[in-house]
């Protein structure tokens, strides 16, 4: 099966160890997947070792993108899920699971056009993104590409196989072309909007934005489609879940990454974070402000932790890290801007920003005896403000006026962490 398949042999070894150790007291289930383009001999060898014939899954039956994969599953997929059919083939079994295609407007950037849709085209399998100075040896599909396609391949530093630059796969505007963006791939693969945004630290993203985007594409090219493997997951867990149709499962795959919703909820594809039947976007959608505030306050931790300003070391680790909020839950606009009068440590400046926000809220809205809310991308600032004190003289210098304003106006400050890459004030603070 090749030099890179050595890890495969760990699967039967571990399975055997579990069975020897626990016997019949536990049930060991497995799901093993591989590319459908593998040669027949390798496929049949895996089947022999695992004792089952693979299923051929392809998400093209639910979204306009191909992702054929073999899956060796310990459970029988046939008849397990409404809308899923299995037909035997030579040395594999074809799985047919159809769902209505999402509207193109649900996943495509609003200022772009996909001309291939009119001709019934489907996007090819996502591939790893590897920028190169020169073409790789024997690039896939080169002999079938016209000169314009080859030119686009060269302009994009040979990142993908040349056939991926064919006209029917291009996303265009009036004067530009591109391939699918990371957000569009995430949605069509079923991972939810912004799934790979946390692949790098924010500081690294700012230094190398193009490499960060390439990295996200690389990860998506090395993944499988949830539209296919939701079938496998549902069958492996069927003892614990009600019987659901495939169309229902497919309609859940637009939810925000990591969000857990009731099994009966759905979440259609959208270029924003979706939370089941309730969406938070530019004014909170159908979720009222009061209900949204209650949800946030349930997540609030009133305790904090002290820090050493030089090292940033957290001295009370049990409250770290906090759960982040998403900046896209709100619509943002510039209300005020202030230039720093002197240079200070980044943690001190983060506290100064919170103080400025408090002063603005008091003067702008004449607030008293209220809860006020702010976001910050500094865990340290959030921790020391939550605690209300710090052994650091520099931080205490800013904490005292913060406490005075809150006490004098009867305010309770609620803080939430936002990732630096999403911080709506980050751009202005650096320019």
Task: State the Cα–Cα distance between residues 136 and 43, nearest whole angstrom.
Answer: 27
**What residues contact 270, with CB distance under 8 A and at least 6 apart?**
106, 193, 254, 279
How distant is the alpha carbon of residue 1 from its chain centre?
32
Residue 76 falls inside a structural domain: yes
The pairing of strands 371-376 and 324-325 is unpaired
CB atoms under 10 Å from CB of 7, counted, come to 7
Contact 53, 91 (CB under 8 A): yes
**Which pLDDT belongs to residue 292?**
64
Residue 271: inside a domain, yes or no?
Answer: no
Residues 154 and 248 in one domain: no
Dihedral (C-alpha) 246, 250, 253, 255: value to the nearest 10 degrees? Answer: -90
Are 219 and 211 within 8 A, CB to CB? no
Which of 181, 204, 221 is the last residue before a domain boundary?
Answer: 221
Rounded CA-CA distance 374/416 in Å is 7
* Residues 124, 67 within the same domain: no
What was the pLDDT predicted at 112? Answer: 95
**DSSP 8-state secondary structure symbol assigned to residue 125:** P
The C-alpha angle 264, 268, 271, rounded to 5 degrees, equals: 145
One domain, residues 40 and 131: no
138 and 27 in a common domain: no
Supply the range of the domain harboring residue 377. 289-429
| Residue 299 and residue 203 share a domain | no
Q: DSSP letter at 103? A: P
Alpha-carbon span 138 to 128, nearest angstrom: 16
Say whether both 125 and 45 belong to one domain: no
Residue 338 is assigned to a structural domain of this protein: yes
* Cα distances (angstroms) measured from residue 428 to each of 56, 136, 339, 340: 50, 42, 10, 12
In whole angstroms, what is the distance from residue 402 CA to residue 76 CA? 62
Domain boundary among 203, 237, 252: 252
Q: pLDDT tens string for the chain (431 positions)?
A: 555 567 889 999 999 999 899 988 888 899 999 999 999 999 999 999 999 999 999 999 999 999 999 999 999 999 889 999 999 999 999 999 999 999 999 999 998 999 999 999 999 999 999 999 999 998 988 999 999 999 999 999 999 999 999 999 999 998 899 999 999 999 999 999 999 998 888 888 889 999 999 999 999 999 999 999 999 999 999 888 888 899 999 999 999 888 878 888 898 899 988 887 644 444 444 456 666 666 666 655 444 444 444 444 444 434 445 567 788 777 788 888 888 888 888 899 999 999 999 999 999 999 889 888 888 888 888 888 888 888 888 999 999 999 999 999 999 888 888 888 888 887 665 55
State residue 309's pLDDT score. 44
Q: Which residue has the tokens 């080859």?
A: 150
Position 389 scores a pLDDT of 83
Whole-number Cα distances in Å, 4 to 8, 9, 47, 269? 9, 11, 18, 35
């Amino acid at each position: 099966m090749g030099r890179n398949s050595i890890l495969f042999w760990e699967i039967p070894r571990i399975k055997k160890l579990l069975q020897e150790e626990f016997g019949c007291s536990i049930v060991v289930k497995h799901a093993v997947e591989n590319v459908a383009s593998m040669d027949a001999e390798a496929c049949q060898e895996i089947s022999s070792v695992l004792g089952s014939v693979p299923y051929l899954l392809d998400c093209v039956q639910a979204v306009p993108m191909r992702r054929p994969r073999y899956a060796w599953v310990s459970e029988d997929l046939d008849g397990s899920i409404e809308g899923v059919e299995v037909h035997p083939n030579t040395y594999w079994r074809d799985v047919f699971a159809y769902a209505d295609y999402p509207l193109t407007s649900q996943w495509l950037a609003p200022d772009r056009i996909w001309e291939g849709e009119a001709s019934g085209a489907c996007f090819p399998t996502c591939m790893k993104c590897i920028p190169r100075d020169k073409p790789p040896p024997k690039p896939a599909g080169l002999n079938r590409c016209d000169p314009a396609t080859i030119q686009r391949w060269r302009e994009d530093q040979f990142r993908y196989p040349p056939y991926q630059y064919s006209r029917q796969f291009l996303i265009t505007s009036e004067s530009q072309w591109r391939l699918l963006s990371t957000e569009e791939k995430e949605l069509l693969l079923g991972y939810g909007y912004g799934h790979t945004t946390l692949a790098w630290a924010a500081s690294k993203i700012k230094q190398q934005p193009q490499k960060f985007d390439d990295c996200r594409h690389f990860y998506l090219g090395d993944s499988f489609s949830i539209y296919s493997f939701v079938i496998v997951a549902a069958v492996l867990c069927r003892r614990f879940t009600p019987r659901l149709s495939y169309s229902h499962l497919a309609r859940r795959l637009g939810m925000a990454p990591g969000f857990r919703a009731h099994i009966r909820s759905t979440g259609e594809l959208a270029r924003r974070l979706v939370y089941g039947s309730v969406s938070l976007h530019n004014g909170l959608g159908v979720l009222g402000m009061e209900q949204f505030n209650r949800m946030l306050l349930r997540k609030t931790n009133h305790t904090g932790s002290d820090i050493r300003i030089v090292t940033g070391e957290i001295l009370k680790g049990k409250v770290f890290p906090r759960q982040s909020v998403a900046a896209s839950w709100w619509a943002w606009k510039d209300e005020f801007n202030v230039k720093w009068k002197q240079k200070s440590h980044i943690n001190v400046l983060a506290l100064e920003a919170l103080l400025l926000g408090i002063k603005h809220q008091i003067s702008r809205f004449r607030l008293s005896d209220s809860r006020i809310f702010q976001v910050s991308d500094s865990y340290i600032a959030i921790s020391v403000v939550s605690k209300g004190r710090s052994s650091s003289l520099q931080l205490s210098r800013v904490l005292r006026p913060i406490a005075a304003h809150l006490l004098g106006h009867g305010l309770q400050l609620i803080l939430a962490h936002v990732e630096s890459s999403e911080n709506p004030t980050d751009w202005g603070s650096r320019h």
